[in-house]
């Protein structure tokens, strides 16, 4: 056990920039997540697909992910794809909207 502790201390001494890199990486990831929060807090549920009988399923559209500005929405969708996927999987599910229709929604093209 002592040799493991000694090797960790030696590694930290020989690699002093690793702590700096990890701190910067954590800050960048934190800023990435925080920058997504205002978009998702202002989002709405919109239709994911429409068939002959009406809406087939509902999906969550954070602000700016709709169709009003295709260039902007394409950039936002690509840039925030991992967070948007997690958001739709765990927090803003289509089932949640079907259970509580008082949630914000948009029935035309998603904004």
Report the alpha-carbon distance of residue 37 to residue 32 in Å, rounded.
Answer: 9
Q: Which pLDDT score is estimated for 29?
A: 96
Sort strands 54-61 and 44-51 into parallel, antiparallel or unpaired.
Answer: antiparallel
Report the alpha-carbon distance of residue 35 to residue 93 in Å, rounded.
Answer: 21
**pLDDT over 60 (residue 111):** no
Query: Residue 17: pLDDT band by 50, 70, 90 thresholds?
Result: low
Q: State mean pLDDT over 67-87.
A: 87
**pLDDT over 80 (residue 66):** no
Which of 78, 75, 73, 79 has its CA nearest to residue 61? 73
Predicted structure pTM score: 0.72
In this predicted model, which residue has the larger pLDDT, 59 or 34? 34
Place of tokens 């990486």: 25
Residue 44 in contact with residue 61, Cβ under 8 Å?
A: yes
Q: Which two tokens stand for residue 28?
A: 């960048």
């Amino acid at each position: 056990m002592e040799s493991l502790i000694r090797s960790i201390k030696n590694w930290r001494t020989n690699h002093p920039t690793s702590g700096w890199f990890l701190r910067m990486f954590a800050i960048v990831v934190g800023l990435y997540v925080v920058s997504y929060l205002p978009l998702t807090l202002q989002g709405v549920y919109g239709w994911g697909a429409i068939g002959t009988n009406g809406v087939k399923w509902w999906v969550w559209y954070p602000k700016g992910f709709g169709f009003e500005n295709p260039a902007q929405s394409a950039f936002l969708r690509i840039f925030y794809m991992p967070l948007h996927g997690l958001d739709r999987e765990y927090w803003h599910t289509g089932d949640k909207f079907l259970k509580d229709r008082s949630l914000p929604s948009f029935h035309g093209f998603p904004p």
